[in-house]
Amino acid sequence: MYRGTYVLAIISCAMLFCRNAEAQRVKGSDTLLPLTQELAEQYIDEHPGTEVIVTGGGSGVGIAALPENTTDIAMASRRIKFGEKMKFAEIGLDAREVIVAYDALAVVVNPSNPVDSLTREQLEAIFRGKITNWKDVGGEDRKIVVYSRETSSGTYEFFKESVLDNKNYMSSILSMPATGAIIQSVRQTKGAIGYIGLAYLNPFVKPVSVSYDGGASYARPSVGTAADGSYPIVRPLYYYYDARKEAEVGPFISYVLSAEGQASVLEQGFIPVLMEEKAL
Amino acid sequence: MKRILEKAVKWLLTASGFVTSVVILLIIGFLFTEGAGLFREPVVEEGYVLVLNKENPVSAMTAAEIKAVFDEDVVNWKDLGGPDMAIETFRLEDVDEYFSAEELGPQYENAGGAIAGLVESRPGMVAFVPGSMIPEDAGVKLAEDRNISPGEVFGGREWFPTATPAPLFGILPLLAGTVWVSLFAIIFALPFGISIAVYMSEVASEKVRGFLKPVIELLNGIPSVVYGFFGLIVIVPMLQQVFGLPVGESGLAGSIVLAIMALPTIVTVAEDAMRNCPRTLREASLALGATKWQTIYKVVIPSSMSGIASGVVLGIGRAVGETMAVLMVTGNAAVIPSSILEPLRTIPATIAAELGEAPAGGAHYQSLFLLGVILFFITFLINMCVEYISARNRAKNS
């Protein structure tokens, strides 16, 4: 009886520490998580005997895991920061960067809101707290309630770069822990405005058209407008990997960039790399 | 054989107790070292410098001033004690506005020199660039940088951990939010908790009590994220309609959810204390002609006061440390709240929401550990109160 338990314990320990040599670990951004999981499943189906383990945790977690060798590929919804690059350089890690897809952010308001187009300057003023009433941008006399993602999400950073021109959000902004929470809040708050990934758009919130040229031309967010370059709030999504591991991770990355892989990118509501590059 | 087994068990218990204590101490030590690391970080993001023109008399700026400058809220150097001259800001992303690709070189190897030259030629410019880019012999000066001071952190009123070039780590809004939401939670939970406890221990029949007690204790078993979800879907829209608020996510929503969560703790502990009130006391009171109600509030409640108090303090402890439910319903706006109907941000919610993507080892990461240390001290204080109250109780009863 006791001996049986011991043997079992030893076996389970061994299983914990022994990793399949073929297994590739992918870790990082929660934006890329569902897409990468889908791609990994297809990749495993086509290449039996291989294994790809995908985990989330955030862009920062993924990039921090790369030098610690607890992941082979880091997913990131933002470009690697200078400080992180310096850390890599200290231990002589040469990280390669691949853009695997593009993601568009949609600015959404409550469906009852008559406002349906805003310029970048107006958005900047709203998110920085300079405009606080909808009547200043052609709407009803109602206080604007601004929702944002949490300070450390990649989406938050990108919106700040693209729409706020690198300036800071106002301090009284409401930060929500997840995209789902923003949708829920915008849906039930009349004066609300927020931003979400294009893939999350649903009928309960209304996307607004955005203009980056001072109101000359507005574009509604959709895969089509994002791909042809008319919709401006589009960000690249990255994979980072150690250049020394090119041989191991190469097949998966080339699968992701293949026509097949990019077809599922489109299916998941992201913009394929080729479509975007054609537009540029 | 039996003796050996007994010895082995004794040894095993000692070893596991010792190892656990050491691990707990190590965790606390880790928390403190990481948290203290924040005060060794520079004000300007690590690896970067602020480059100023040599002529500019301003050479040091606080984090708040740097943020105001780069947000274009402050546009003239005279506001910072300098000459009457417009401020021009420069970030690395602006480099293509000033230089062509040929000027920068294929690997951007000339970028540092080009930027230094630009700052040299423009007296009002301040540039935020990596320190390694600026050549040693450039005719510019670097803004003096110092480490983040405890005063800025503990007295700061702005929490902007991801602001560039200089993040702001003022914890006052978070501390105020935590205290505010816990205080109101306990104000709501206290009357209900005590009345349920009195009802269950003194009024309810054995049958009702046998049903009520497990139901109340069941509340303890509901995961906090479920409470949060319930709060977001039910309480938030309800408050929005009742008070006519522009936004329903508020401190009030958080304190109502927390009050519901703290209720079982308060009820269970207070009820146990009241039931443990010596039978002789009650009988003496009734024998003197007191009614049942008089006995409850003149004899039972005062004699079990310390038990009730420790229940309340344990409830506060639960409210202070609660993360998920609060994260979902309070709106998480990092401003010092002036009323409970405004959105606010608590310490545990901040840690949970931000740790995921904070670059490991950076100032932001360490500031979150510092928040953990502060939370540790708050709960430590609360536990000390419980210890003190129950020690007094024991002394009185013996």
- The answer to whether residue A189 neighbours chain B at the CB level (below 8 Å) is yes
For B237, phi then psi, to 5°, come to -65, -35
The Cα of B389 is separated from the nearest Cα of chain A by a number of Å equal to 38
Domain pair A8-102+236-279 / A104-227, same fold: yes
Residue A1 pLDDT: 43
The first and second tokens of residue B21, run together, are: 């204590």
Q: Which stretch of DSSP H or E encloses residue B48?
A: strand B48-53
Give the pLDDT band of residue A277 (cuts 50, 70, 90).
low
User: What digits encode the pLDDT tens for the residues A188-219?
Assistant: 888 999 999 888 888 999 999 999 988 888 99
The DSSP string of B102-132 is HHH-TTSTTHHHHHHHHHHH-TTEEEEEEGG
Test the B interface: residue of A112, A151, A188 with most B CBs within 10 Å = A151
B-facing residues of A in 93-152 (CB < 8 A) are 128, 142-143, 145, 150-152
* Alpha-carbon span B300 to B194, nearest angstrom: 12
- The answer to whether residue B333 neighbours chain A at the CB level (below 8 Å) is yes
Closest partner residue to B359 among A60, A150, A151, by Cβ? A60
Give the pLDDT band of residue B94 (cuts 50, 70, 90).
confident
Which residue in B285, B6, B32, B336 sits closest to B181, CA to CA?
Answer: B336
Provide the residue ranges of all domains of chain B, joining segments of one domain with +: 2-40, 48-146, 172-397
- pLDDT higher than threshold 50 for residue A18: no
Beta carbons within 8 Å of A225's beta carbon, 6+ residues apart: A219, A231
* Alpha-carbon span A112 to A192, nearest angstrom: 10
Provide the residue ranges of all domains of chain A, joining segments of one domain with +: 8-102+236-279, 104-227
Give the pLDDT band of residue A17 (cuts 50, 70, 90).
very low
Residue B107 pLDDT: 63
A-facing residues of B in 85-104 (CB < 8 A) are 91, 93
Mean pLDDT, residues B187-207: 91
- pLDDT higher than threshold 70 for residue A3: no
Rounded to 10°, the helix B172-198/B251-275 angle is 40
* Residue B313 near residue B379 (C-beta atoms within 8 A): no
Beta carbons within 8 Å of B286's beta carbon, 6+ residues apart: B292, B295
Beta carbons within 8 Å of B211's beta carbon, 6+ residues apart: none
CATH of B172-397, one of 1.10.3720.10, 1.20.1090.10, 3.30.160.270, 3.10.450.50: 1.10.3720.10
Mapped to the 3 state alphabet, what secondary structure does chain A carry? CHHHHHHHHHHHHHHHHCCCCCEEEEEECCCCHHHHHHHHHHHHHHCCCCEEEEECCCHHHHHHHCCCCCCCEEEECCCCCHHHHHHHHHCCCCEEEEEEEEEEEEEEECCCCCCCEEEHHHHHHHHCCCCCEHHHHCCCCCECEEEEECCCCHHHHHHHHHCCCCCCCCCCCEEECCHHHHHHHHHHCCCEEEEEEHHHCCCCCEECEEECCCCCCCECCCHHHHHCCCCCCEEEEEEEEEHHHHHHHHHHHHHHHCHHHHHHHHHCCCECHHHHHHHC
**Helix (H/G/I), strand (E/B), else coil: B161:** coil
Mean pLDDT, residues B144-171: 87
B356·A58 Cβ contact <8 A: yes
CB pairs under 8 A between A and B: 117
A185·B249 Cβ contact <8 A: yes
What is the ipTM, given to two decimal places? Answer: 0.77
Q: How many CA atoms lie within 13 A of B211 on its CB side?
A: 4
The dihedral region occupied by B97, where left means phi > 0, alpha psi between -120 and 50, and beta the remainder, is: alpha
User: What digits encode the pLDDT tens for the residues B312-354?
Assistant: 888 888 888 888 889 889 988 888 988 889 899 999 999 988 8
Residue A163 pLDDT: 92
B162·A87 Cβ contact <8 A: no
Alpha-helix runs per DSSP H in B167-223:
172-198, 206-221
Burial (CB < 10 A; 0-12, 13-18, 19+), residue B155, is: exposed
Angle at B248 between CA B242 and CA B254, to 5 degrees: 105
Residues of B in contact with A143 (CB under 8 A): 246
User: What digits encode the pLDDT tens for the residues B212-231?
Assistant: 989 988 888 888 889 988 99
Out of A264-278, B165-179, B185-199, least confident range: A264-278
Residue A41 pLDDT: 92
A87·B361 Cβ contact <8 A: yes
Residues of A in contact with B248 (CB under 8 A): 188-189
Total-model pTM: 0.80
Alpha-helix runs per DSSP H in chain B:
2-36, 63-70, 95-98, 101-104, 111-121, 150-155, 172-198, 206-221, 224-230, 236-243, 251-275, 279-287, 292-295, 301-303, 305-321, 324-329, 347-354, 363-397
Residue B62 pLDDT: 86
Distances (CA, A) of B314 to B189, B290, B362: 12, 33, 34
- The answer to whether residue B66 neighbours chain A at the CB level (below 8 Å) is no
- pLDDT higher than threshold 60 for residue A6: no
CATH number of A8-102+236-279: 3.40.190.10
User: What digits encode the pLDDT tens for the residues A94-131?
Assistant: 888 999 999 899 999 999 999 999 999 999 999 999 99
* Residue A197 near residue A177 (C-beta atoms within 8 A): no
A143·B246 Cβ contact <8 A: yes
Beta carbons within 8 Å of B7's beta carbon, 6+ residues apart: none
* Residue A169 near residue A150 (C-beta atoms within 8 A): no
Residue A19 pLDDT: 45
Among residues of chain A, what percentage have pLDDT more than 90? 35
- pLDDT higher than threshold 60 for residue B191: yes
User: What digits encode the pLDDT tens for the residues A133-189?
Assistant: 999 998 899 999 999 988 767 788 889 888 988 888 888 889 887 788 889 889 988
Kindly calculate the radius of gyration of chain B based on its CA atoms and give it in whole angstroms.
29
The first and second tokens of residue A201, run together, are: 């758009």
* Residue A60 near residue A152 (C-beta atoms within 8 A): yes
> What torsion do the CA atoms of B81, B84, B90, B96 make, to the nearest 10 degrees?
-170
What class does CATH assign to B48-146?
A: alpha beta
In the CATH hierarchy, which fold is given to the domain comprising A104-227?
D-Maltodextrin-Binding Protein; domain 2 (3.40.190)
Amino acid at B9: V
* Alpha-carbon span B118 to B144, nearest angstrom: 20
Residues of A in contact with B357 (CB under 8 A): 58-61, 150, 152-154
